[in-house]
Structure 1
Amino acid sequence: MTSIQLNIQEQTGRLDKVMNECLPAYSRSQIQQWLKEGLVFDDQTKQALKANYKVKEPMSITIQLPEPKELTLIPENIPLEILYEDADVAVVNKPQGMVVHPSAGHPQGTLVNALLYHLKDLSTINDVIRPGIVHRIDKDTSGLLMIAKNDFAHEKLAEQLKEKTSLRKYVALVHGVIPHDKGTITAPIGRSKQDRKKQAVVEEGKHAVTHFTVLERFNDFTLIELKLETGRTHQIRVHMQYIGYPLAGDPVYGPRKTLKGNGQFLHAQTLGFTHPTTGEWMEFTTPLPTIFTQTLADLRKTV
C-alpha cells in the first residue's frame, strides 16, 4: 500500500478544506472519500482523522492510499474534436450536451468514455472515473478542456490552475443590456441554502473572481467575454445571475422565458497553459457552436 505524507504548516480550519488546498492534484470528492474510509492519520497520535477535524497548528498527516481499482470504464467510439495531442497533454473541444465524466446518472456516453477510445494514455491521479481530467465544464457548456496523459503532466497542469497562471476565456450570451463595457465580479460561491442542488453567492463560500468584457449589445441581450480567475462550480452562471444578467438558456440559474437552445449559451473559447515538459506557452481558440452563431445572427436582425 502506498501513502502520501503531508506536512501542514500555515493552513487552519476543517481538515477536508485544508487538504483540498494542499493537494490540488486530487479532487475534493477523492479527499472526502479518503477521510470517509478512515485512510487519513495523524502522524503524532496515529489516529484516523475525520473531515471535520479542526487544524489549529502545524501538523503532519499520512494518507494510506488504497490499491488502485481496476478501470471498468468502457471506451466508446464517440466523435471527438482533438485540437492538439502529444505525449503529455491533449486539448479537446467538448460539444454541448456531453457530460465530462461518468456518474450514477451518466454511466456512459461521456467525454471520458470518448477519451479512452481516442487517446492511448491518460493520467490516473484523479480517481478511477476521471482519468485525464484536470478541470471540468458543465454538461451544457461547450468548449476547450486540457487533458493530462500522465500523472506528471496532471500535477503540473493542476498547479497552474491553483496558481492562476493558466488562461480560460469564455463567451456567453446573457439576458439584459449591460451598460458598462468591463466589470469584475468578486463574490464568494458555495452551496445554496435554499436549494442544495444549486450553487449561490454565500458569505461563507469560496473566494471567486470573474472578469467580463462586453462584445456586443442587442435589444434585450448582451454578448460578453469572461475570464476566470478562480474555478468554482457554476461560477460564471452564478456570478452573472448575482449581478442581474443571467445566462440565456440556463435551465437552472436563468429565467424560464429565454432563447431556444440546448442549455446555457456559454462556450469555453480560449485555453492557455504552460506545457508541463517543454515549458512552452500554448494557447488554443475554437469557434462558437453553430446554434450559438445562428442565435447571434437572429438577434442582429432585431437590432
Structure 2
Amino acid sequence: MSGSTRTGDHRGMPVPDGVEGERIDAAIARMFGLSRTRAAEIITEGNVTVDGAAAAKSDRLEAGSWLEVTLPPPPEAPSARPEPVPGMSVVHEDADIVVVNKPAGVVAHPTVGWTGPTVLQGLLSSGVELATSGAAERQGIVHRLDANTTGLMVLAKSEAAYSVLKRAFKEREVDKVYHALVQGHPDPLRGTVDAPIGRHPAGDGRFAVVAGGRPSVTHYDTVEAFRAASLLEVKLETGRTHQIRVHMAALRHPCVGDHLYGADPVLAEYLGVRSQWLHAVRLGFQHPTEGRRVEFECAYADELAASLELLRED
C-alpha cells in the first residue's frame, strides 16, 4: 500500500449495516464526522482498505467486508498571539467573565486554515487574562459565534467560571437571543422549527436539516416586516453549528446576505450587506461565581443598522 500514512488513529471493523451499498467516501464521511472532501483525501492517500485491498473513493461497500481506516492526526491549531481586533468592544468585565461585542470577520479562537483576527487575540492584546482550562488555543472559550455573525460572546477569566459556564451552555441554561434579517415573510409570523441538523450530504462545509442529525430547536418571532424582508427575534434551545442559518433556509427564508445558504445576492448588494445579517443581541445567564442573574445587550453593527434604515425608507 504505497503512499499510506500509518500514523494516527487506526480502526478496523466489519462494514456497518447503515452504510451498505454506499460510496466509500460518503460512508467514511458519515461514520467519522468528516467532510466528503476530507474523506476522499484520506482514501486517495491510501488510508482505507476493504478486505486488505486499497479502496477507491467511488467503490461501494458490501455487507460482510472488513473495513480498515487510518485517520491521520489532525494538524495542530495555531496558538493565539496578542493582536488588536478593530471594531471589537468589551461590554462587561469582572474578575470571572468578560463579555464582548464581536464584529463580522472575526472567529472565536485560532483554527487551522484561518488567517484572520480572533476574539482571543483581541482580548490578549488588551491584557485580559483568560481561563487556561481546555485546549491552549481555546482558552476561556465556552461558546462560539460564526465568523460573520456579530454580537455578544462571553468568555471565562477564572477556572471556576469556565467550568460553570461550560456546564450552563451544555445544559441549555443560557438565554441566547438573536436578531436575524431574513428574506420574505415567514408564515406563520411566529413559530418554532424543530428539525435535526447534520452535515450537508454534499460535504462542502454546509449543514442541513437531515434525518439522523442532532436535535435542533429554534423559536422565532417577527419584530418588523418590510417589503422584501423581515426582522426576526430568534431564541435557541440548542446551539448547533449554523443552526439559525440552516433553519431559516429550510423555511425558504434565508438570512439576508447568507450566500452559503441560498440568499439573493441582488438584495444583499442593494442593502450593503456583505455577509449573513445575524446578530447575537442578548445573552442572559446566572453569574458563575456571584449566583445572580445577569443579562447583556448590544447594538447592531453599523452595516446592519444601515440596511434596516434603507428598508424602512422603502
TM-score by shorter chain over 0.5: yes
Q: Structure 2 regions of 5+ residues with no counterpart?
A: 1-32, 35-75
Query: Which residue, 207, 227, 242 being the options, matches 2:215?
Result: 207
**Over residues 212-266 of structure 1, what are the superposed CA-to-partner deviations in whole Å (9 max), with x where a residue is unaligned?**
0100111121110000110000000000001111110002113343312220000
Alignment partner, residue 192 of structure 1 = 200
Q: Normalized per residue, which structure has more helix?
A: 2
Matches within 5 A, 1:211-250: 211-250=219-258
Asked if 1:265 is matched to 2:277, the reply is yes
Residue identity (%): 41
**Over residues 78-127 of structure 1, what are the superposed CA-to-partner deviations in whole Å (9 max), with x where a residue is unaligned?**
34311111111010000111122112222452111111122432112231
Residue 261 of structure 2 aligns to a residue in which SS?
A: coil
Asked if 1:289 is matched to 2:301, the reply is yes
**Over residues 169-188 of structure 1, what are the superposed CA-to-partner deviations in whole Å (9 max), with x where a residue is unaligned?**
00010011123231000001
| CA-based RMSD | 1.9
* 8 Å Cα contact 1:140-1:262 kept in structure 2: no
Q: Judge which range, 155-164 or 206-215, deviates more.
A: 155-164
**C-alpha separation between the residues in 1 aligned to 2:141 and 2:284?**
16
* 8 Å Cα contact 2:105-2:116 kept in structure 1: no
Residue 295 of structure 1 aligns to a residue in which SS?
A: helix
**C-alpha separation between the residues in 1 aligned to 2:229 and 2:79?**
45
- The letter for the 1-side match of 2:124 is L
* 8 Å Cα contact 2:256-2:264 kept in structure 1: no
Alignment partner, residue 180 of structure 2 = 172
Q: Judge which range, 225-234 or 117-126, deviates more.
A: 117-126
Q: Judge which range, 221-230 or 155-164, deviates more.
A: 155-164
- The letter for the 2-side match of 1:262 is R
* 8 Å Cα contact 1:248-1:254 kept in structure 2: no
When the two structures are superposed, what TM-score results if normalisation uses the length of structure 1? 0.74
Alignment partner, residue 103 of structure 1 = 111
Residue 259 of structure 1 aligns to a residue in which SS?
A: helix
Alignment partner, residue 299 of structure 1 = 311
| Structure number, greater radius of gyration | 2
When the two structures are superposed, what TM-score results if normalisation uses the length of structure 2? 0.71
**C-alpha separation between the residues in 2 aligned to 1:103 and 1:293?**
30
**C-alpha separation between the residues in 2 aligned to 1:72 and 1:270?**
29
**Over residues 155-205 of structure 1, what are the superposed CA-to-partner deviations in whole Å (9 max), with x where a residue is unaligned?**
101111111111110001001112323100000111111234111111111
Q: Structure 1 regions of 5+ residues with no counterpart?
A: 1-27, 30-68
